[in-house]
Amino acid sequence: MSSFEVWAVILGLTVITFITRGFFLLVGERMELSETLQNALRYAPAAALVAIIGPEMFFAQGSSELEINSPYLWGGICSILAFWLSRSMLLTIILGMVAFTAIRLVLA
């Protein structure tokens, strides 16, 4: 790949990122989103997080089968239970990491 191609790709990705992330700032108040769409967008960060973490939790290390002795699975289950019972994000993170580390050390 030549130097020109590298800079063209960097410039192209910069423009695309600016347009996609700045779209709502660029149109300002000229475009009004419906109430339904605004409510749906509130769940986008949580949905993205589940889409990223879920496959890693259930199918760790590229496997296509559910592994019952996976530290990712037990750390995730512990995190889900901790949040469900306490509604504390800090406690969820701490208990999930403790469970993940403990299972990883026991299985190692």
* pLDDT tens string 36-64: 988 988 888 888 888 888 888 877 666 66
Q: Is the pLDDT of residue 96 over 80?
A: yes
26 and 41 part of one domain? no
pLDDT tens per residue across span 6-32: 999 999 999 999 888 887 777 767 777
Q: Is the pLDDT of residue 33 over 80?
A: no
28 and 12 part of one domain? yes
Number of domains in the chain: 2
63 and 93 part of one domain? yes
What is the extent of the structural domain holding 6? 1-32
39 and 57 part of one domain? yes
Give this prediction's pTM.
0.57
Burial class from Cβ neighbours inside 10 Å (0-12, 13-18, 19+) for residue 102 reads middle
* Residue 84, amino acid: W
16 and 5 part of one domain? yes
59 and 103 part of one domain? yes
8 and 41 part of one domain? no
3-state DSSP percent of the chain in helix, strand and coil, to 5: 80, 0, 20
Q: Are 81 and 73 spatial neighbours (Cβ–Cβ below 8 Å)?
A: no
Q: Is the pLDDT of residue 82 over 80?
A: yes
Q: Is the pLDDT of residue 102 over 90?
A: yes
